[in-house]
């Protein structure tokens, strides 16, 4: 397990998705109020950036901009077609005003 700093809390705007590259990984990080969610930035339907999609802050979901599949930000599971497979998610914590993602 390794934790990676992905920036200050204040660098993230609530309700917006942001693409962050960490080594070989490309992540989509979403802040909703004080909660953070981290998924692989690759839709499981086709290879497309989820960071381009739209966040629903009420349901804590993100909708792929390409064909409209919706993913639960909490666990990466698809909530609608055409995606049928989950997107990998990662644990994230806020420590001393910094956002840290843990990789297995």
Binding site for ligand FES (CB under 6 A): 43, 45-46, 48, 64, 66-69, 82-83
Closest CB to ligand FES among residues 6, 64:
64
Closest CB to ligand FES among residues 32, 87:
87
Closest CB to ligand FES among residues 35, 40:
40
The least CB distance from residue 75 to ligand FES, in Å, is 17
Closest CB to ligand FES among residues 35, 63:
63
Q: Which residues are CB-contacts of 71 (< 8 A; sequence separation ≥ 6)?
A: 39, 43, 50, 61, 62, 63, 64, 77, 78, 79, 83, 86, 87
The least CB distance from residue 103 to ligand FES, in Å, is 23
The kind and range of the H/E element at 39 are: strand 35-40
User: CA dihedral in degrees (15, 21, 22, 25; nearest 10)?
Assistant: 100
Report residue 19 as tokens: 């693409």
């Amino acid at each position: 397990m390794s934790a990676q700093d992905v920036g200050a809390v204040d660098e993230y705007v609530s309700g917006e998705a942001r693409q962050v590259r960490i080594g070989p990984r490309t992540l989509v990080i979403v802040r909703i109020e004080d909660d953070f969610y981290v998924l692989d930035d690759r839709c499981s339907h086709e290879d497309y950036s989820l960071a381009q999609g739209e966040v629903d802050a009420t349901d804590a979901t993100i909708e792929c901009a390409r064909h409209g599949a919706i993913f639960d930000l909490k666990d990466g599971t698809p909530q609608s077609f055409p995606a049928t497979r989950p997107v990998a998610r990662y644990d994230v914590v806020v420590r001393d005003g910094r956002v840290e993602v843990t990789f297995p």
